[in-house]
Amino acid sequence: MTKTVDEYIAHAAHKQAEADYYQVMSSMQKTANDFALDGFFTVSMGDKDEIIAAQAERIEISMKNKLVEILVNNDDR
């Protein structure tokens, strides 16, 4: 099965958003542990999914804009 460009970008954006989310949460957890604030930085599964979806949407728009920029810059017309 072949993916469309939109599907590929959406998938890549979602994977990047998940990676960003876990990196930020890990950093926040380390900060919480460093300051004995463990428990203050908790996020429910619903919040996590919403955060990742919103970030994926921003990344997807950025990727599409970059793709358009590349195509325009390489247009020989």
Q: How confident is the model at residue 26 (pLDDT cuts 50, 70, 90)?
A: confident
Domain layout of the chain by residue ranges: 5-73
Q: How confident is the model at residue 11 (pLDDT cuts 50, 70, 90)?
A: very high
- Mean of the pLDDT values across residues 43-70? 87
Which tokens sit at 20? 């960003």
CA 66 to CA 36: how far, in whole Å? Answer: 42
Q: Looking at residue 60, what is its pLDDT?
A: 95
Q: Looking at residue 2, what is its pLDDT?
A: 74
The answer to whether the predicted template modeling score (pTM) of the entire model surpasses 0.75 is no
Contact 54, 4 (CB under 8 A): no
